[in-house]
Structure 1
């Protein structure tokens, strides 16, 4: 029984298993990142959150002092409570609500505390109210006649607000850290709670006293927690998701995953490369010319002379009927007997000093050619043309 098929099957299973594992890891990482982002944004100034940016500590202290803290996620529920009993409304930034809904909600409250003032919500304090910059976080005294601020003492606001027609406390930068204006029979206050009233900062300076004074004046406190689901805004332009059927997004995600899997599958080479002999033929003259050019570029005259002498010795040994392992002395002696010449001179040509210049190398080459030609002529005189 062949074992090739099981091996291939196991490789395919391992490949698809690896692809599935990679997709699961990518999905898990995306879920963690998205969950972290959602958690960070949802816990900011949330009275139910014990995170550093939450405000659970402040809500518990207010409850311990007899204030009924009602946390609501719906503006309709908030308006329903505010319309039936005098209460303080704690309002963070609510971009999902329209201006009319914000005005209706704040109008139903006796006191309003804007804890995350933005340009739109600041207009509830005064039409000329605006954010004018940031400070360095240094502590600042109230320097105003607002009793709650005077009792709280110094705090360290960073957001600078300005409203000439409103009472201003805590100088910071080019503005003030707190704005107070009349609101029917009560008051409306704007203060950046992200730096003063969170779980991380509530115990610093006079932050706790200021928060209790602003939010504990009424027996009931309505703390509105905004969400995108609680919105009365109509989208002006439909998004691409609104115009497409709900099944389009899952199908696109599935196609993308399939494309990635196919790319990984086709990009993996199964098994080792197969070697194959190619029918390539190179002429000896081309090889010789190539080597000659390399030797010329390297200027290794000794190596070139050695190759020339070795080739000549080999051919002379075959002419004289000697073995391929014959020494230069033996070959020179045999050639000297054939040509009736001095054996020492012939040996110097076949195995002598190394040439040091190009001219010496050329002369050696000519001597070797002459010696080989003379030996061939002496051994085969019948081939000499008359």
Structure 2
């Protein structure tokens, strides 16, 4: 059962790691343009700049806090608040709720625009993304003219009516749309590519952020939460779509599968050593291989086997490691015997026998070389009399 315990523990660990990674991914999404986040995608740097300039930055994270902040800024059901509202085009908000909030302040900046915001507020549509280089304002909007060029993110196809100001145009598209009606201003811009902590210092991003969000003494920065979703707009879960009997049946099938795996699963015991029916002597194996090499005429293979054995023995004689490259062993042998390195390398590595006679000559040279190294290293002992002419 120890194996099953290990498998179960592994599955638990994998589940925990997957949960942590999923949570990190969700946190990263929640962190996007958050005015209290110091991460690369957060918006704390811009919020601090605005606060240093005397703007009262209020961060609200649910509908109730948003309504309270709007009321404190003079907002009522009929009168918009005298404040700037940063409103993301969040899928948590229905179209009706999104439009209602967009009408609740005198200045509204749609900071994370989606197709819904462009369609509902400007009768426009998303048309592209990004450019190769910074784009100049090319419009009469003072906030854009004072900011200079930016490297835009999402681009919009502006409507045909004349009450919409389009700035930072690329061909027929624009990165900023602004409409003013009855004293209320709504601005559409992809702030996720301009006002985050990592991009704020590029081009005129910081100036544009301050000009758009710092026009009034109060800035309400709304970060919707899951609790703000309208109940009628929340998609039903998988459990709500399936009949009541499906979940118990799935659990029962899983338990049955686990029980079957435990019942029929192979239980691995300790390894058992089994004796072979016959014993083959090493000499017979060597002779058999030699006959196969001779029959196939594979002289290079035989020469390699002779050299490998000789190199191993020479490395041990010279005190070298088992993993020492052949060329280093060859150089060490040449230095020990005072022979030219090229000559020793030819014997141990380079020479390629083309006939049986040359192969026998190579075997003799290998044996002689090993004998000489043995005499040089251990002069008081008898050198080996046979280097293994038979591979």
- Aligned residue number for residue 384 of structure 1: none
- Aligned residue number for residue 148 of structure 2: 153
Deviations 1:255-288 (A, max 9, x none): 647745853674333336999xxxxxxxxxxxxx
Q: What SS does structure 2 have at the residue aligned with 1:58?
A: helix
CA distance in 1, matches of 2:170, 2:67: 34
CA distance in 1, matches of 2:235, 2:37: 35
Deviations 1:309-357 (A, max 9, x none): xxxxxxxxxxxxxxxxxxxxxxxxxxxxxxxxxxxxxxxxxxxxxxxxx
- Aligned residue number for residue 94 of structure 1: 90
Q: What SS does structure 2 have at the residue aligned with 1:194?
A: helix
User: Residues 197 and 211 of structure 1 are in contact (CA less than 8 Å); yes or no, is this contact kept in structure 2?
Assistant: yes
CA distance in 2, matches of 1:46, 1:19: 41
Q: What SS does structure 1 have at the residue aligned with 2:103?
A: helix
Deviation at 1:189, TM superposition (A): 0.6
- Aligned residue number for residue 270 of structure 1: 268
Gap regions ≥5 residues in structure 1:
1-11, 276-386
Q: What SS does structure 1 have at the residue aligned with 2:167?
A: strand
- Aligned residue number for residue 287 of structure 2: none
User: Residues 130 and 151 of structure 2 are in contact (CA less than 8 Å); yes or no, is this contact kept in structure 1?
Assistant: no
Q: What SS does structure 1 have at the residue aligned with 2:86?
A: strand
Distance change in 2, residues 1:27/1:256 (3 Å): farther
User: Residues 83 and 109 of structure 1 are in contact (CA less than 8 Å); yes or no, is this contact kept in structure 2?
Assistant: no
The 5 Å alignment of 1:84-163 reads: 84-85=72-73, 86-127=82-123, 129-163=124-158
- Aligned residue number for residue 63 of structure 1: 51
TM-score w.r.t. length of structure 2: 0.60
Q: What SS does structure 2 have at the residue aligned with 1:199?
A: coil
Q: What SS does structure 1 have at the residue aligned with 2:228?
A: coil
Deviation at 1:105, TM superposition (A): 1.2
CA distance in 1, matches of 2:71, 2:107: 13
Q: Does 2:77 match 1:77?
A: no
Deviations 1:91-134 (A, max 9, x none): 1121121222122212110100011111221235422x221112
Q: Which of 28, 44, 50 does residue 16 from structure 2 map onto? A: 28
- Aligned residue number for residue 179 of structure 1: 177
Deviations 1:18-45 (A, max 9, x none): 1332122121222122112211211112
Distance change in 2, residues 1:29/1:154 (3 Å): same
Distance change in 2, residues 1:236/1:19 (3 Å): closer
Deviation at 1:47, TM superposition (A): 1.4
Distance change in 2, residues 1:237/1:59 (3 Å): closer
Q: What SS does structure 2 have at the residue aligned with 1:70?
A: strand
Q: C-alpha root-mean-square deviation of aligned residues, in Å?
A: 3.1
Gap regions ≥5 residues in structure 2:
74-81, 274-391
TM-score w.r.t. length of structure 1: 0.61
Q: Does 2:40 match 1:40?
A: no
